[in-house]
Amino acid sequence: MERRISQRYGPFFEPIHSLEREYQRTRPNNAPRSLVLNTGTVVDAAGSGYVELGKTKVIVAVQGPRPPIRIRGGVENTMNGRITCEVVKSSFCYYSYESTRMANVGRGVSEEERLLSTRLVRVFEPIVILDKYPKCSIDLYVVILEDDGSAFAAMTLATSLALADASIEIISVVSSVTVAISTKQEYLVDPDRTESECAVGLITVSLPLHAAQLCEIQHTGKLSIQVWLSAVQLAVEVAQTIGNSMCQFLLQEMEKNETPSLCS
Amino acid sequence: MDKDDDTSIFVSPFEQEAVVTPSIVKSSQFVAPGDDILSQESVVRGHGTMVQGTRLTSTVAGIVERVNKLVAVLPIRARYSAEVGDVIVGRIRDIVSRRWKVDVNSRQDAVLLLSAVNLPGGVQRRRTYEDELKMREFFDQDDLISAEVQELKQDGLIMLHTRSLKYGKLENGIFISVTPQLVKRSKKHFHRLSCGVHIILGDNGYVWIYVDDAAYGEDEEEANFSKRRENDKSNLEQRLSLIRVRNSICILDLYFLSIQPETIMLIYEETIRRNIPVQHMLRPDIINDIYRTVKNTKEM
Amino acid sequence: MPREELISPDGLRTDGRRPLEIRKVTCRMGILPRADGSCHLEMGNTIVLATVYGPRELSSRQSSCGIIRCEYSMASFASTDRRRGKRSDRNSVEMASSIKKTFENVLLTDLFPKSRVDIFIQVLQADGSERSAAINAVTIAMVNAGIPMKDLIVSCSAGYMENTTVMDLNHVEMITRGPQLTLAIYASTERMATAHLESKASFEIFENLIAIAKKGCLQMFDVMHSSIERYSLNLIASRDHIATFGSRA
Amino acid sequence: MYAVSKAEKAYLLDTIETGTRLDGRQLFEYRPISLQVGVLPSASGSSRLRLGETEVLVGVKVEVGDVVESSNDNVQLLFTVECSGSASADFLGREAESWSSELQNALESAYRAANVFDDERLSLVPGKFCWLFKVDILVLDTGGNMMDAISMATRTALSTTLVPRVHIVQSEGSFELEIDDNPDACDTLKVEKAPTFLTFSLIGNHFVLDPSIQEETCARGKLSVAVDANGDICHVYSFGLLDAVELSRLLTIIKKTGKVLLNRLDECVKNGESS
Amino acid sequence: MRDEPLSLLEKNFALEALQAGIRVDGRKIDEARLVNFEFGSQYGTVTVRLGKTKVFSSAIAEVVEPTIDRPAEGFVTFSVDLSPMASENLMLEYLYSGRTSSTLEEAAEIVRFLQQIIRENQAIDTETLCIVAGVQVWAIRVDIHVLDHCGNVLDACCMAAVASLLHMRKPVVTVVGKDVFIHGIDEREPVPLTVHHLPISVSFGIFLDGDLIAIDPSIQEESVMEGTLSIAVNAHKEICAFRKAGGASIETSLIFKNASYAYLRATEVTVQLEKALKDTYSRNAVASVKPLQVETTKKSFPLNEQVQGVTTVWKQVAKQSALEDKEKTVDQPNITSVTNAEMEIFIDDSEESYTKSDELSASTDSDEETAPAVIARPRGGKGRPKSKK
């Protein structure tokens, strides 16, 4: 478990100057990258979702509800349904210098992957109506094909799609977005990898679309409360837009699927 | 910042070991495991003793108790060891075929058979298969119950029963666990304290502090909830005194003081007298103060 | 490599003790309220925390007598060179298994069938004689948990260096690789429960080591017994005191 | 696993509705904290902290290390969170692992963001040697709200850590470090910037500060925020459905409470040292 | 190997027999089982039989970096494989009693004991294992496999480890400047390790609540005994290790009696070990005249040695094919006793179709001078001898 976190301790958020100089954001600060949504990517799964946020690409497959494959020892109240999650980062999703260090093939579940899966389960536990699936397990399998920043947001979106695709009862579609605060105190919506690394603060917010509530917030970096709150505010607004387009997409998909049955 | 915030965080250095001046324990003999128990010949050896060659030795740390020829050593702190007729508070740990396994703070889980509970509609009714399926509805996993020890099996297995109206599922209260040796076995386990709070002092060291449900009548559960919510204001007083009882028991347990209705009320009243708000009762400095006062009360 | 002398001309050791003197032993019992028994034992600068849970339900397995499990681990900050004494490393496993076997025989396991007792030992600071400290701490934790046992097990180490036999070794004395023995005995019968000899010793030295370690054990016993007694009498006094008051009121 | 019956949970929820908790605390109140520093003579800095029933022990070791990769840091921090056997008895293997890595990660992230040791005095040879602070956290008892207990204990342990003076000898382009052997020639670390965590559990519709293990079991969400003495946010993690409006209200409370908490801790350490 | 876990009746019988002063297998209380050392054809391999208990051990030398604390010392490491293969029923018993980890524990204890008696007692001179201080040292790895678990595995393992170390040879090494040459077996006869003394472990079973102590318990007795007492003694009458891990308590006075028993037994075993070793050498001397004896070896495997047999045969075949290529060009002084380390170099060389003369001429390559110091890696086959210009 011991890990040198401090490889870039301290100035982790210190601007990587060369990168910053070369880098030029090509779209408005408050616009997310181009979003590609798809469902049914994985045929064998009960439901699946695919999301592209710029270069970040994530596939999520849902299996279940089904009886839990393994119940770890001990007495456990299994009356309620439960969500399990497995996140895998593809070995080629690491960029540049990191790739050599982190993508050692044949490793077990890395700490990062484990944390991501814990987070994803926590986002969806209040969203999925687990009472409806007693003694069942809903298993999420996530593959991050490419990580160019905002991977967790993409994961959340893809999981929403997959759950909807699997017709699992949820209280609402969950939308998610990452906002970075740059050294110039700009709010950069949906930052890519370079922007994330140069940021002084990085906030990921997930929220259910049809309730005025938040599912999950993760923030790293040092900010004053005011700045932080307005960043969250912005994230919520953008997430709602993204969520709406996701809903539209789902409706379209549904119509598409229904047409043949109507014809026949 | 205002004053309230100031007191809301209490940081203190670690308390040194609570120094209690040991009053001399008279007419009793302290033994640790392996120590000889001085005795005349022809004694009957009881719990906590063993014969090693020609010596009679203790197996636990405690005071030698002699009743006629019976010599026993009762451990000062240990897990609960059951006796028939004990009233206990237990937590359902598991449900297996036709029986509940109940955690009673003992060396193994106690067993409550489906045939040992009162079922709705007729005391002497046969236990059907439907009853077996409905076991979770009577007592679900993690539920707290009060029960009585019916029988001890050869290997120490504890059999419980709840065949009386006073036993059964516990609701509307707080649970707290204390050292079982602090609860003296007595005839009465269900107490109504003078402050209006009810407690069940389980012989196994599990204590249930509650308000009597009779006040609400036997309404539907949901109606009960909404009614409770309406009564929130008047309720708060009651809740606070419940919590004060809980914290009093905590203090007693912490200082290894005997837990009886009288002693609970002693602490309870002392904190009221000193105007200690209920949330500060567990602060180390205040506990210490209360303890000193209580101790001095006796010596006066 | 020349070492500084371990025994001064006056016959004093590096920490100022005489050869046949144990370090200052202090122990506190019942410090973790959620455990059945716990003991925080300091032998000089060696600090060990032993926790005992049980006897408690043994899930699913049948056994005619109780089962004991033991886990030994060293905190990463325990020694001067920061090393992680994982619970699974070989030395810890060996230590745990040896302690488990020591207590399997002294606990009256047939009194708690189908139950188990869990022992957890955490070395917080290692300054020699960790094995002894662990055994002593577990004994006290067992007493604290009220688990019936035949006798108190007390342990002490002894070593031979510079023509002197000394007891209760500290870290400096331990790394000399001289003959050293960790002995655990039953306090009242003085029978040997556990013994480990490290490095070779002639028969005479060995005999001597055993005798000295035994003396050390008995010194240790005095300290342990009196702290158990003090602790217990405190509790009894406390309990009975207010009980009489209660009944009078 | 900590067990709570339905009836207990219902009573807990109702009581929290009335603004009180089952141990008598108000919603935004900490349990009493007991603190002890310098508990481990062999460590450079150490502390033991008890928060209600939660108890942790922290040892800090100071070393000089090589700089890994290109970085200009004076200090590298290494955190490990370990659960002692006695505390982990109730945990199941893998869960305990992910649980401790989560704590570790949050702590790392907060300290990194707060840039705690941006101190000239700690400078060695930039790009070549740096200080290595190894912070080992041992959880002795788990009684809820591990995060806050760990962050408080870490901060106090660091605040009592002694860093030896080092003389840098430069010869032929290579550096040699001479560490002052004199035990008095040590500097204490400055930890004003070190953050502390404040954790809330979301029970029913209310947030409660410093949840006990029972409250954690009944909670449907959590909010954990790291703040420094200025009230700046260094790390946030929350899950469970919560109202956005509630968030800003909580943040003001966090700012205020955080400041008091940090003051109290510092005072206690100071008093402990002087006595 | 016994077929069934012991019944209560059998256990009681064993106990009663002990009480009466005899043991189930007919021995007396203070009578140990017969020991038999059988050295393998390779250096460092030995099979030890203690009654029916059978243990196979092999020692291998590797070149590694030394530790920072002791730059001028090599080291000896041990591994003990106590797989269920040794005794299926043992495993079953473990499963029934829910002590699956016991196997691990037992192996850990044996390894710890071995470390203690051999490493910490300096039975092997670790300083002579140094090649270049701070850079390269020999690491001797002793792998012990318990083939048949019929009681008192600890003693058998210790004897096997000691015998292995005594039998093994390490290749000769010459250091010229910064270059390290590891000489193949064809060049220089490998040398034995410097063994200071031979610690022999003798274990006793404790019965009847510590009142009866019997030497060398069999598996049947192990299931009824209440603890063990292991004493490692060498011929100089020094106690190298003493271990009593829990179990029934015993009178301290008994220990000295047992220590003298242990000493008697240890001298006996030492004599036997030395004799066995001598026999092997004389046999090997004969063997070297008739280099190929694969067929006979194959035949001589008894059935119950199958597991060991397969691997040995395989090695023999590999060696044979290697030898056949070499035979004509290389004068092989001692074919049947090549260490594992040497073996691989040997095979490698043949694969690369080197001959000795090739090698010598090839080593005058032009880039030899600029090449970095040869890093000796005998197992990788890269450590083939090179000579300087």
Asked if E240 contacts E199 with a C-beta cutoff of 8 angstroms, the reply is: yes
CATH number at residue B49: 2.40.50.100
The ipTM estimated for the assembled molecules is 0.82
What is the C-alpha to C-alpha distance for residues E161 and E74, in angstroms, rounded to an integer? 17
Tell me if chain D has a CB within 8 Å of the CB of B239. yes
In this complex, the residue of D5, D28, D261 whose CB is nearest that of residue B143 is: D5
Q: Which residues pair with E81 in a beta bridge?
A: E145
Bridge partners, residue D135, by sequence: D60, D79
Closest CA to D2 of C34, E376, E280, B112: C34
**In terms of domains, do B165 and B183 share one?**
no
DSSP letter string, B89-137: EEEEEEEETTEEEEE-SBSS-EEEEEEEEPPSS-TT----HHHHHTHHH
Of B79-83, B132-136, E49-53, E385-389, the one with minimum mean pLDDT is: E385-389
Assess contact for E146 and E218: CB atoms under 8 A. Answer: no
Contact B36 C238 (CB under 8 A): no
D233: distance to nearest CA of chain A, Å?
5
Q: Do chains D and C touch (3 or more CB pairs under 8 A)?
A: yes
Residues E301 and E283 in one domain: no
Whether C112 shows a pLDDT value over 90: the answer reads: no
Q: Are residues E248 and E306 in the same domain?
A: no
Q: Which residues of C touch D53 (CB under 8 A)?
A: 33-34
Same domain, E275 and E302: no
Tell me if B12 is assigned to some domain. no
d(C-alpha D226, C-alpha D218), whole Å? 23
Question: Is E220 a domain residue?
Answer: yes
Report the number of distinct structural domains present in chain B: 3
- Is residue E216 domain-shared with residue E324, that is, in the same domain? no
Chain D residues with CB under 8 Å of C77 CB are 40, 42-43, 46, 59-61, 136, 138
> Number of folded domains in chain E?
2
Cα distance between residue B226 and residue B243, in whole Å? 22
Contact B108 C28 (CB under 8 A): no
Q: For residue C188, give the nearest of C232, C241, C142, C225 by alpha carbon.
A: C225
Bigger pLDDT: B270 or B1?
B270
Cβ pair A211:D241 closer than 8 A: yes
Give pLDDT, residue B196. 86
List, in order, residues 6 or more apart from C171 with CB less than 8 Å away.
Answer: C45, C126, C127, C128
**A4 close contact with C: CB closer than 8 A:** no
DSSP state of C35: S
The alpha carbon of D161 is separated from its chain's Cα centroid by a whole number of angstroms, namely 15
pLDDT at site E7: 78
Give me the pLDDT at residue B234, please: 62
Domains and CATH numbers, chain D: 6-274 (3.30.230.70)
Of residues A191, A194, A198, the one with CA closest to residue A221: A198
Same-domain status, E254 and E335: no
Task: Render each residue's pLDDT in chain A as its tens digit; 264 residues.
Answer: 333 333 333 333 333 444 555 556 778 888 888 899 999 888 888 999 999 998 899 999 998 788 876 554 434 555 678 888 988 887 666 554 444 444 444 455 677 888 899 899 999 999 999 888 888 889 999 999 888 889 999 999 999 999 999 999 999 999 999 999 988 888 999 998 888 888 889 999 999 988 788 999 999 999 999 999 999 999 999 999 999 999 999 998 888 876 555 444
Q: Is E226 in Cβ contact with C206 (below 8 Å)?
A: no
Q: What is the pLDDT of residues A46-73, one digit of tens each?
A: 999 999 998 899 999 998 788 876 554 4
CATH number at residue E178: 3.30.230.70
- pLDDT, average across residues B15-25: 52
- Check if the beta carbon of residue A213 is closer than 8 Å to that of residue D242: yes
Which tens digits make up the pLDDT trace of B186-213?
889 999 998 889 999 999 999 999 987 6
Task: Spell out the domain ranges in chain A.
Answer: 12-69+82-98+110-263
Residue-level pLDDT at B28? 64
Return the CATH superfamily for domain C25-244. Answer: GHMP Kinase, N-terminal domain (3.30.230.70)
Structural domain includes residue B292: yes
Flag whether residue B258 sits within 8 Å of chain C, measured between CB atoms: yes
DSSP character at residue B291: H
CA of A252: how far to CAs of A37, A45, A167, A211, A259, in Å? Answer: 12, 21, 15, 22, 11
E51 and E67 within one domain = yes
Do E279 and E299 lie in a common domain?
no
Contact list in C for residue D104 (CB cut-off 8 A) is none
Q: Which residues does chain C have within 8 Å of residue D85's beta carbon, measured at their own beta carbons?
A: 51, 71, 73, 87, 120-122
What is the domain-level CATH number for residue B89?
2.40.50.140
Residue E38 lies in a domain: yes
For residues D169 and D177, the answer to whether their CB atoms sit within 8 Å is: yes
Contact C192 E247 (CB under 8 A): no
Show residues of chain D in contact with C32, CB under 8 Å.
Answer: 55, 86, 140-141
| Cα nearest neighbour of B136 on chain A | A79
For residue E187, being part of any structural domain is answered with yes
- Do E207 and E232 share a domain, yes or no? yes
Domain residues for the domain of E359 are 295-368
- What pTM did the predictor assign? 0.84
With CA atoms as reference, the chain D residue closest to B238 would be D15
Tokens found for residue A107: 């490793």
Residues E216 and E349 in one domain: no
Nearest-angstrom CA–CA distance, A40 and A26: 32
pLDDT, residue E359, reads 41
Report which residue type is found at E295.
E
**Chain C contact present for E45, CB below 8 A:** no
Q: Record the tokens describing residue D128, joined without a space.
A: 């070549």
Of the listed ranges A200-209, B233-242, E354-363, the least confidently predicted one is E354-363
Distance CA B197, CA E243 (A): 60
Chain C residues closer than 8 Å to A72 by CB = none
Query: CA-to-CA distance for C57 and C148, rounded, in angstroms?
Result: 17
What residues in E contact C195, CB-CB < 8 Å?
A: 242-244, 255
Q: Where are the domains of chain C?
A: 25-244
Contacts of B175 in chain D (CB under 8 A): 5, 8
**Mean pLDDT highest for which of B100-109, E73-82, E102-111, E304-313?**
B100-109
D54-95 pLDDT, tens digit per residue, is 999 999 988 887 776 656 677 888 898 888 766 655 554 456
CA neighbours within 13 Å on the CB side: how many for B18? 23
CB pairs under 8 A between C and D: 72
Chains adjacent to A (≥3 CB pairs closer than 8 angstroms): B, C, D
The pLDDT tens digits of the residues spanning E43-93 come to: 889 999 999 899 999 998 888 888 877 888 888 989 888 766 666 555 555
- Same domain for B237 and B261, yes or no, is yes
With a cut of 50, say whether residue E287 has pLDDT above it. Answer: no
Q: Find the residue in A nearest to D114 (Cα).
A: A222
Per-residue model confidence (pLDDT) at position E337:
37
* Touch criterion met for D and E (3+ Cβ pairs within 8 Å): no
Q: Are residues B206 and B254 in the same domain?
A: yes
Instruction: Return the pLDDT at D275.
Output: 52
Interchain CB distance below 8 Å, B175 and D8: yes
Is residue E174 located within the same domain as residue E136? Answer: yes
Using a CB-CB cut-off of 8 Å, the residues of chain C touching B50 are 108, 148, 150
B155 to chain C, any CB pair closer than 8 A? The answer is yes
Q: Which CATH number fits domain A12-69+82-98+110-263: 1.10.8.60, 3.40.605.10, 3.30.360.10, 3.30.230.70?
A: 3.30.230.70
Residue of B nearest to C243 (CA): B258
Provide the residue range defining the domain that includes B239. Answer: 173-300
Percent of chain E topping pLDDT 90:
19
- Kindly state whether residues B119 and B208 are assigned to the same domain: no
Chain segment D145-198, per-residue pLDDT in tens = 999 999 999 999 999 998 888 887 777 767 777 777 777 777 888 888 899 999
| Integer Cα distance of D225 and D106 in angstroms | 10
* Contact yes or no for A1 and D101 at CB 8 A: yes
The reply to whether residue C198 touches residue E120, judged by beta carbons under 8 angstroms, is yes
